[in-house]
């Protein structure tokens, strides 16, 4: 492994991964390939501009096979790490089209390129959502995939392609299934950066349903380290869970976040739930731990670091929370909040 192509490298986890890998491996060189959709953002990589081993940023779509092949040949790429995906569950519920295209077809294109150009490895970044909601116990890698949202189904489809390409063509592909990430550069539509930035501005925090859903939130660099361990010590054809043992109830996360910011709980606004909302995710990451991985942050440490980063980096998120973002916010939240007001009025009447 020497020349790595990071697809989706201008997104949240991809950009953190690049920063992490540049520090860890002084002999590796990197190219970022990203279509720059609404979440892809060159500001996420700004501090790395001019780094001698961050060779290039190439704007392109993973669905565009000739363009992917071109960048692979041009930079003598031997390894692809795929972060490129549509990722937001609520958007997939409103319109799944881009999810099926990028997450499924795009992964197929990468598998074809790795097969035909005989690359050393494709590492595909997947999600714990492929298991569906977990009411008891914790998911292990051999569990059935029972995706319940269009987003989760698109990621499960991509994983099945990875498995099939390994079985049929012996393509050297590994997969990681990550739990919820938090940390710097996360687009403020995910719950933690949304709540932090709303709270800083004294805006309501829209908690879905009763807020008792459970997520194993992890610090993004712990996730990046898990991917690194699988890249170097994982077995092709295998999938690995990457998540902490600690699980957090959304409302508890919200209380702690408000406390860290010194903001009142009265900012919490309960709104209509997400359709098909998975109640709980829980990962057993023993398989990865057996390869030497251990998360370095507790949830409390991860949340505190995240809150402080958003407090210190308003230049990054204020730009985002205008334009397309405002339109999305209206589409996703307007009816939800109105519906809750109506239900309350009914109850009172």
With 0-12 / 13-18 / 19 or more C-beta atoms within 10 angstroms meaning exposed / middle / buried, residue 67 is middle
**Of the listed pieces 107-115, 205-213, 303-311, 338-346, which binds ligand DAU according to CB under 6 A?**
205-213
Question: Nearest to residue 197, comparing CAs of 311, 91, 315?
Answer: 311
Active site annotation includes 128: yes
Question: Nearest to residue 320, comparing CAs of 12, 31, 20?
Answer: 12
Question: By C-beta, is 163 or 272 nearer to ligand DAU?
Answer: 272
Question: By C-beta, is 3 or 278 nearer to ligand DAU?
Answer: 278
By CB under 6 A, is residue 130 in contact with ligand DAU? no
Exposure letters 190-215 (e unless 16+ CB within 10 A, then b):
bbbbbbbbbbbeeebbbbbeebebbb
CA angle 295, 277, 348 (to 5 degrees): 125
By CB under 6 A, is residue 223 in contact with ligand DAU? no
**Of the listed pieces 66-74, 94-102, 160-168, 208-216, which binds ligand DAU according to CB under 6 A?**
208-216
- Which of 7, 16, 87, 282 lies at the binding interface for ligand DAU (CB under 6 A)? 87
How far, in whole angstroms, is CA 321 from its chain's centroid?
A: 19
- Residues 248-277 binding ligand DAU (CB under 6 A) are 250, 274
- Which of 131, 281, 293, 310 lies at the binding interface for ligand DAU (CB under 6 A)? 281
- Annotated active-site residue in 34, 86, 129, 222: 129
For residue 218 the two structure tokens come to 């992890």
3-state secondary structure of 173: strand
- Which of 19, 88, 263, 287 lies at the binding interface for ligand DAU (CB under 6 A)? 88
User: x/- string (CB under 6 A) for ligand DAU, residues 286-315?
Assistant: ------------------------------
Cα-flanking dihedrals φ and ψ of residue 321, to 5°?
-80, 45
Active site annotation includes 76: no
- Annotated active-site residue in 151, 187, 219, 310: 151
Exposure letters 157-170 (e unless 16+ CB within 10 A, then b):
bbbebbeebbeeee
Q: How far is the CB of 236 from ligand DAU (least distance, A)?
A: 23
Active site annotation includes 169: no
Question: Nearest to residue 15, comparing CAs of 191, 196, 186, 242?
Answer: 186
By CB under 6 A, is residue 154 in contact with ligand DAU? no
**Of the listed pieces 73-81, 201-209, 291-299, 315-323, which binds ligand DAU according to CB under 6 A?**
201-209
- Annotated active-site residue in 34, 103, 128, 228: 128
Give the footprint of ligand DAU on this chain (CB under 6 A): 87-89, 127-129, 179-180, 190-191, 194, 206-208, 213, 215, 250, 274, 281
């Amino acid at each position: 492994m020497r020349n790595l192509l990071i697809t989706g490298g201008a997104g949240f986890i991809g950009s953190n991964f690049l920063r992490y890998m540049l520090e860890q491996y002084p002999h590796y060189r990197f190219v970022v390939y990203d279509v720059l959709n609404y979440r892809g953002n060159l500001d996420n990589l700004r501090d790395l501009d001019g780094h001698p081993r961050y060779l290039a940023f190439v704007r392109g779509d993973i669905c565009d096979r000739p363009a992917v092949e071109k960048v692979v040949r041009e930079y003598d790429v031997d390894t692809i790490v795929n972060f490129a995906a549509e990722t937001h569950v609520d958007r997939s519920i409103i319109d799944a089209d881009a999810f099926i295209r990028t997450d499924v077809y795009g992964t197929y294109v990468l598998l074809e390129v790795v097969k035909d150009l005989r690359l050393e490895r494709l590492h595909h970044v997947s999600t714990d959502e492929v298991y569906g909601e977990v009411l008891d116990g914790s998911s292990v890698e051999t569990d059935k995939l029972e995706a319940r949202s269009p987003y989760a189904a698109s990621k499960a489809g991509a994983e099945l392609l990875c498995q099939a390409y390994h079985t049929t063509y012996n393509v050297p592909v590994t997969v990681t299934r990550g739990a919820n990430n938090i940390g710097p550069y996360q687009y403020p539509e995910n719950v933690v950066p949304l709540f932090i930035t709303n709270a800083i501005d004294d805006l309501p925090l829209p908690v879905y349903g009763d807020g008792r859903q459970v997520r194993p939130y992890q610090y993004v660099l712990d996730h990046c380290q898990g991917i690194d361990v699988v890249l170097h010590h994982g077995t092709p054809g295998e999938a690995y869970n990457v998540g902490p043992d600690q699980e957090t109830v959304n409302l508890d996360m919200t209380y702690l976040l408000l406390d860290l910011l010194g903001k009142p709980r009265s900012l919490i606004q309960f709104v209509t739930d997400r359709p098909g909302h998975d109640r709980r995710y829980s990962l057993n990451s023993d398989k990865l731990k057996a390869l030497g991985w251990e998360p370095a942050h507790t949830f409390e440490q991860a949340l505190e670091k995240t809150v402080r980063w958003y407090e210190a980096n308003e230049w990054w998120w204020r730009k985002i929370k205008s334009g397309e973002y405002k339109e999305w916010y209206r589409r996703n939240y307007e009816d939800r909040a109105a519906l809750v007001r109506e239900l309350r009025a009914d109850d009172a009447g």
